Amino acid sequence: MPDKPTSGELFGIPYNFEQPNLKRLLSGHWQPDEGMLVEKEFGIGYTLNMANWRSWVVLAVAGALLFQQERSDDEEGDGEEDEPVEVVVD
């Protein structure tokens, strides 16, 4: 029976299911000579390259949006309850 490939590309999306180790996982997120997205060291697809400044901008924007959403959810819960509105239709 032929062995199934543990890494490759399917429909243009990379995959890698080789046994990971800590050094390989950490080096996959820090590649100074590469772009913002790099292939995952384990799994399917791409991940952020933390050696690229654009990745930090993406994380900062995502964090700000999450903070804003949490803050707006807290403000909605602290207000008075909405009273029912009577609608008259002629």
Question: Where exactly are the structural domains of the chain?
Answer: 7-75
Is the CB of residue 13 less than 8 Å from the CB of residue 44? yes
What's the pLDDT score for residue 68? 94
Instruction: Report the DSSP pairing between strands 37-39 and 46-48.
Output: antiparallel
Q: How many CB atoms lie within 10 A of CB 48?
A: 15
User: Between vectors from CA 58 to CA 30 and to CA 24, what angle results, nearest 5°?
Assistant: 20
Q: List the pLDDT tens digit at each of the 90 positions of the chain.
A: 568 888 888 899 999 888 888 888 888 888 898 999 998 888 899 999 999 999 999 999 999 999 999 998 877 665 556 788 888 997
